[in-house]
């Protein structure tokens, strides 16, 4: 998979990307991004709109429009944001997903969370996930986001004591402004 990404985008990804002491990110032809981290991981993130098979309307308890909306809102199609982590050998370790949509009226915006999840790959995958959170939140009067976050770690337990070899806080965010423009970001630290 990684070799295919690099081969298809050889004009954008320098050969020394894996040898750098700093993280290097590149946008690929399909709109996704590939990052070679200083920790030796390869991270690929992708944002995809899905065909609208959901009733993308206000899902508040009373099914009443937001009183701040001055015109009937427009809704984005459902959007799925995924970020996959690979080891330096190119083996996929895990992928984190979040899915949602947004209602906006050029004055305000509301976020609607559909689902968030993670998938672990490779046999005997040692990564554990704890403190998992997901949902939608208002980040300002003109932006809202769909998010998920959790602590991904692996290590050893000896006589009831856990020694963590790797511990990462990972957060995915899809943010929308009052104009319906969606951006994505992730935190990996």
Expressed as residue numbers, the domain containing 141 is 2-188
Q: Is the pLDDT of residue 71 over 50?
A: yes
Output Rg (C-alpha) for the chain, integer angstroms: 19
Mean pLDDT of the residues in the chain = 86
Confidence band of 156 (pLDDT split at 50, 70, 90): confident
Interval 1-45: pLDDT, tens? 565 656 666 666 555 554 556 789 999 888 899 999 998 999 999
Closest CA to 75 of 105, 99, 47: 105
Q: Is the pLDDT of residue 63 over 60?
A: no
Please compute, for residue 121, the number of CA atoms within 13 A of its CA located in the half-sphere on the CB side.
11
Structural domain count of the chain: 1
Q: Is the pLDDT of residue 143 over 50?
A: yes
DSSP string, 70-119: SSPPEEPPPEEEEEEEE-TTS-EEEEEEEEEEEEE-SS-EEEEEEEEEEE
Residue 62's pLDDT is what?
Answer: 46
């Amino acid at each position: 998979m990684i070799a295919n990404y690099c081969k298809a985008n050889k004009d954008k990804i320098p050969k020394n990307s894996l040898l750098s002491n700093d993280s290097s990110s590149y946008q690929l032809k399909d709109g996704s991004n590939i990052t070679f981290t200083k920790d030796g991981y390869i991270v690929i993130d992708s944002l995809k709109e899905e065909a609208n098979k959901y009733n993308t309307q206000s899902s508040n308890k009373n099914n009443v429009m937001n009183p701040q909306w001055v015109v009937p809102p427009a809704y984005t199609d459902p959007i799925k944001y995924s970020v996959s982590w690979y080891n330096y050998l190119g083996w996929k370790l895990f992928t984190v997903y979040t899915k949602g949509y947004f209602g906006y009226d050029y004055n305000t915006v509301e976020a609607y969370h559909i689902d968030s999840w993670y998938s672990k790959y490779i046999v005997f995958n040692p990564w554990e996930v704890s403190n998992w959170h997901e949902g939608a939140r208002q980040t300002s009067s003109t932006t809202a986001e769909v998010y998920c976050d959790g602590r991904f770690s692996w290590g050893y337990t000896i006589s009831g004591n856990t020694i963590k070899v790797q511990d990462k806080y990972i957060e995915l965010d899809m943010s929308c402004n009052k104009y319906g423009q969606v951006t994505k970001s992730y935190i990996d630290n």
